[in-house]
């Protein structure tokens, strides 16, 4: 999944959300998205990316986190939403993209490939387990994860 925050009122470049958990705030050495504005708390909020969705969680910031003008403590983000950290506003852009592969061991493969790995009907080889993600795709993970 591709996810970006497009700045609406600041001189920031577009921000790509690449991590599953992204910390937003004013503390440069700790935050993944560093916003040096005094109205942004040192540790302002989290953006969580999971199953093709984005979620936001305010971490008790002084000036709040807003989605489409409404102050939120947590919630889902949709494409086109306006996300504001204190006074800094960003438009949320999301869409299909290349699957994110944080480690070489995570891959999306066709169901036919997984079926060929079965050692007996209904049983996968011991080195891997499969998680069905749709009718045509599965994710293969190392058994040690």
Residue of higher predicted confidence among 112 and 70 = 70
When pLDDT is cut at 50, 70 and 90, the band that residue 10 belongs to is: confident
Helix (H), strand (E) at residue 132: strand 128-132
Compute the distance between CA of residue 69 and CA of residue 8 in angstroms, rounded to an integer: 14
Give tens-digit pLDDT for 53-62: 999 999 999 9
Given this model, what pLDDT does residue 108 score?
Answer: 52
3-state secondary structure of 11: coil
pLDDT band at 12 (very low <50, low <70, confident <90, very high): confident
CA dihedral 21, 22, 23, 25 (to 10 degrees): -160
Distance CA 35, CA 44 (A): 10
Strands 33-34 and 21-25: parallel
pLDDT at 139 over 60: no
> Cα dihedral sign for 118, 124, 125, 131?
positive
What are the helix (H) ranges across 1-145?
111-116
Tell me what pLDDT residue 51 has: 86
Rg (C-alpha) for the chain, rounded Å, is 19
Domains of the chain: 2-95 (2.60.200.20), 107-142 (no CATH)
């Amino acid at each position: 999944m591709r996810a970006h925050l497009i700045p609406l009122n600041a001189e920031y470049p577009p921000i790509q959300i690449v991590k599953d958990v992204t910390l937003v705030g004013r503390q440069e050495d700790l935050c993944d998205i560093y916003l040096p504005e005094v109205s942004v708390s040192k540790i302002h909020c989290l953006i969580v990316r999971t199953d093709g969705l984005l979620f936001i969680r305010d971490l008790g910031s002084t000036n709040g986190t807003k989605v489409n003008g409404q102050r939120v403590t947590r919630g889902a983000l949709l494409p086109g939403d306006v996300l504001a950290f204190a006074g800094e506003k960003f438009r949320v852009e999301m869409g299909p993209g290349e699957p994110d592969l944080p480690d070489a061991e995570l891959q999306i493969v066709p169901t036919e490939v997984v079926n060929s790995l079965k050692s007996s009907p209904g049983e996968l080889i011991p080195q891997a387990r499969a998680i069905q993600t749709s009718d045509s795709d599965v994710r293969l993970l190392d058994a040690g994860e």
